[in-house]
Structure 1
Amino acid sequence: MSNSSTIAVDAMGGDEGLAVMLAGVATARRRFEGMRFLLVGDEAQIAEGLKSHPNLSQASEIVHAEGVVGASDKPSQAIRRAKTTSMGIAIDLVKQGRAGAAVSSGNTGALMAMAKLALRMLPGIDRPALAAPLPTLGDNDVIMLDLGANTEVDARNLVQFAVMGAAYARTILDLESPRVALLNIGSEAQKGTDEIRDAAAILRGAAHLPLRFTGFVEGDKLARGDHDVIVCDGFAGNIALKTAEGTARFVADLLRRAFTSSVRSKIGFLISRPATELLREHLDPNNHNGAVFLGLGGIVVKSHGGAKEHGVATAIGNAAKMVRADLTRRIADDLGNFEKAA
């Protein structure tokens, strides 16, 4: 198998189990031509599951793994078992060059720890950042990072996140010069911590980079579609992400209650159903699934633990896009150009 078209999939990770993971891989295979897969996990279980997906069998190879990283496992525990777990072996296949990327729906902390240890950081990058696309009112999603990998950062880290996020947006969103903003408590130049203001000063002078720094953005404007990349520390980013997900569920539940409260409401629902279906489709996290650890010497994608078949396929598709666009090299080149200019 060519590693440029091969994805290693942790088939045992995630809340939904092996059946959903295999169904998602099968969907991805139909969507993206030429893809091949290394399915990592219990050989007997995967072989049995593939009987329901005969077309996938032709494009897959099973790599046996005895163990699975549990949702409650600590990163230190997972690292010690890396050579025997489906998650650890999937990452190692990227390190070996047998796969272009690894995809897992398993424990996020364990995945980051094992990926960082196995693949190392790219030269010049201090810390990895977890980045993911989020829905907006605009034509494209917005890429947000960091979403939880680093709770404390300095200005240098934020600038590196901006460079990596812009490279990611150029790959996933097909943008030539992404608009990059820093998440802050206000849009005025004097607002925010010293680290945020210092990072903004550096980014304002980065005219040589393939990005446009647009200043600060507040939390209530994340989904406006005015920016392509939003940069923050992992503490604020994770809170913002969880708040956005909770708000989306709140709106969906509120609409469901409103439309079932009376006969008149039910009639109104039937009339407005095309609009509500469009809203549901737009907010469905399965359509935006797949966070990536940027800054590593290889591509590792984190699929949401509760992702359904469609969500798993979306995460695999994003991984394939990153491999084919050689995202790791893009990030290294952009950061190298930035360091030279600095």
Structure 2
Amino acid sequence: MTNAITIAVDAMGGDHGPPVSVAGTALSAVRHPDARFLLFGDEQLILPEIDKHADLKGKVEIVHTDVAVAMDARPSQALKQGRWKSSIWLALEAVKRGDADVVISAGNTGALMAMAKFCLKTVPGIDRPAIAAIWPTVASECIVLDVGANVGADARQLVNFAEMGAAMARALFQVEKPSVALLNVGVEEIKGLDEVKKANTALASSTLPVRYYGYVEGDDVGQGVVDVVVTEGFTGNIALKTAEGTAKQIAEYFRAAVNRSLLSRIGAFLAQGAFRALRKKMDPRQLNGGVFLGLNGIVIKSHGGTDAVGFASAVDLGHDMARSNLCDSIARDVTKFQAALEDGAEETGGTDTAPTRKTVEQGTH
């Protein structure tokens, strides 16, 4: 990879298409002067948007296609009809060929995952890709995965998620031994699904280069107890959407409270600096972007309904992941993790006894 980061953008994806994807790309371009961009989509729709943003001049190349995957298309249908020529597929191919370092799309999540897995393939040793989200916490931030790529997961896949999440934390947070936990309905050893218990045993008995914490509950995620929280996609997606909805709900409560009376409006004016900081911390756009982990290439999924600020956050994340050589880190760590797991299984004789909960420091990065 050269010093310049090339970012492939599916300009047609999302609820709003080029007006948001181009404006978001322009915002990110200001923050990353070393980046250049390949925009895939309908040239007649993209060019007028580029003309609105002087910061993109000389940094953008358009790859024309008039085929875009609908937001409600079935993954199998999108893969059959949109392969070879859709804006998503062409962006993915750019990464596969080495013409780009990362793909950003706000398009159909299922179609993006299906095409990405078909085009880029998975890293050896990984059964299924996962979507990882960066979660704001009291301490700092943590990584939660899977948040929507897989409905259900067996013990091996949960361990794979832990491996990939730890590699991402190492690259993003610059922490050598990330703390990792499994999301569960309780911290007691007897609670949880069998596959979660098996993953718990495997992670605790191995010599992985992580600090394994054990089980955490949903209210621990926002406290920043660990760097990486592992779950399957059904539960993870519900948790993510619930957190986003709660943030919006609290924002509405604040807005109603500060407008209730003259005195409350005066108080809000005096505390506006604190309110701005709180609003920024709770704004889901600031951490928009799910990372598809486990592929031979970096793919970032932006929320389909986001605005330019949110899309820019996804582009920023893609730039950071490419700069940190995330794919190489995951491939290297998965190989080490698999060897460590095998060594741990041999030493423990394959015991199925679940370990006790371990303690790690909060705010590890």
Question: Would you call these one fold, judging by a TM-score over 0.5?
Answer: yes
CA offsets, 1:168-206, max 9 Å, x none?
Answer: 111222222211110001112222111111111111123
Once the two structures are TM-superposed, the CA of residue 262 in structure 1 deviates from its matched residue by 2.0
Q: Which residue is equivalent to 2:351?
A: none
Alignment of 1:105-116 (within 5 A): 105-116=106-117
Q: Deviations over 1:273-311 (max 9, x none)?
A: 222211110011111011011001111100111222222
CA distance in 2, matches of 1:41, 1:3: 26
What is the one-letter code of the residue matched to 1:223?
A: G
Name the amino acid aligned to 1:197.
K
What does residue range 41-80 of structure 1 map to in structure 2 within 5 Å?
41-80=41-80
- Map Cα deviations across residues 239-263 of structure 1 (whole Å, 9 max, x no partner): 1111111111111111111121222
CA distance in 1, matches of 2:173, 2:287: 12
How many angstroms apart in 2 are the aligned matches of 1:72 and 1:148?
Answer: 16
Contact 2:171 2:329 in 1 (8 A): no
Unaligned runs of 5+ in 1: none
Letter in 2 for 1:320: H
CA shift, 1:2, in A, is 5.3
Provide the C-alpha distance between the structure 2 equivalents of 1:319 and 1:206, rounded to a whole number of angstroms: 31
User: 1:87–1:240: structure 2 CA closer, same or farther, 3 Å change rule?
Assistant: same
Alignment of 1:218-237 (within 5 A): 218-237=217-236
Look up the equivalent residue of 1:256 and give its one-letter code.
R
Q: Is the 8 A contact 1:2 1:98 kept in 2?
A: no
> In 1, are the aligned partners of 2:4 and 2:34 still within 8 Å (CA)?
no
Stretches of 4+ aligned residues off by more than 3 angstroms = 1-4
Distance 1:20 1:121 in 2: 30
State the AA in 2 paired with 1:330. S
Q: Look up the equivalent residue of 1:106 and give its one-letter code.
A: G
Partner amino acid for 2:278?
A: L
Q: Give the number of equivalent residue pairs.
A: 340
CA contact (8 A) 2:29 2:35 kept: yes
Question: 2: distance between equivalents of 1:51 and 1:247?
Answer: 38
Instruction: Name the structure 1 match of 2:156.
Output: 156
Map 1:248-287 to 2 at 5 A: 248-287=247-286
User: In structure 2, how many angstroms separate the alpha carbons of the residues matched to 1:3 and 1:83?
Assistant: 29
Displacement of 1:34: 1.1
The one-letter amino acid paired with 1:13 is G
1:204-215 correspondence to structure 2 within 5 Å:
204-209=204-209, 211-215=210-214
Q: Distance in 2 between matches of 1:2 and 1:29?
A: 17
- Alignment partner, residue 354 of structure 2: none
Q: TM-score, normalised by structure 2?
A: 0.90
1:128 corresponds in structure 2 to 129
CA distance in 2, matches of 1:9, 1:275: 35
Specify the code of the residue in structure 1 equivalent to 2:198.
D
By how many angstroms is 1:62 displaced?
A: 0.7
1:69-117 CA-to-partner distances (Å, cap 9, x unmatched) read 1111111121121222111111111112111111001111111011011
The secondary structure found in structure 2 opposite 1:52 is coil
Q: Secondary structure at the match of 1:149?
A: coil
250-259 vs 53-62, greater mean Cα deviation: 53-62
Structure 2 vs 1, CA of residues 9 and 260 (structure 1 numbering), >3 Å: closer, same or farther? same
For 1:179 and 1:6, how far apart are their aligned partners in 2?
Answer: 32
Partner of 1:33: 33
Q: Distance in 2 between matches of 1:7 and 1:237?
A: 27
User: Cα–Cα, structure 1 residues 227 and 134, in superposed 2: closer, same or farther, change >3 Å?
Assistant: same
Once residues 198 and 10 of structure 1 are traced to their aligned partners in structure 2, the CA distance between those partners, rounded to angstroms, is 39
Q: In the TM superposition, what is the alpha-carbon distance from 1:48 to its structure 2 partner? A: 2.2
Deviations 1:127-166 (A, max 9, x none): 010101011111x211000001111111100001001001
Residues in 2 aligned to 1:248 and 1:324: alpha-carbon distance in whole angstroms: 30
**Are 1:87 and 2:92 matched, yes or no?**
no
SS at structure 2 position matched to 1:13: coil
How far, CA to CA, are the matches of 2:170 and 2:326 in structure 1? Answer: 9
Could you tell me how far apart the structure 2 residues matched to 1:189 and 1:24 are?
46
Q: 2:207 aligns to what SS in structure 1?
A: coil
Instruction: Indicate the larger mover: 90-99 or 16-25.
Output: 16-25
Query: Residue deviations 1:39-81, cap 9 Å, x none?
Result: 1111122222221223313011110111111111111121121
Contact 2:4 2:36 in 1 (8 A): no
Quick one: which amino acid aligns to residue 173 of structure 1? F
Report the aligned-residue RMSD: 1.6
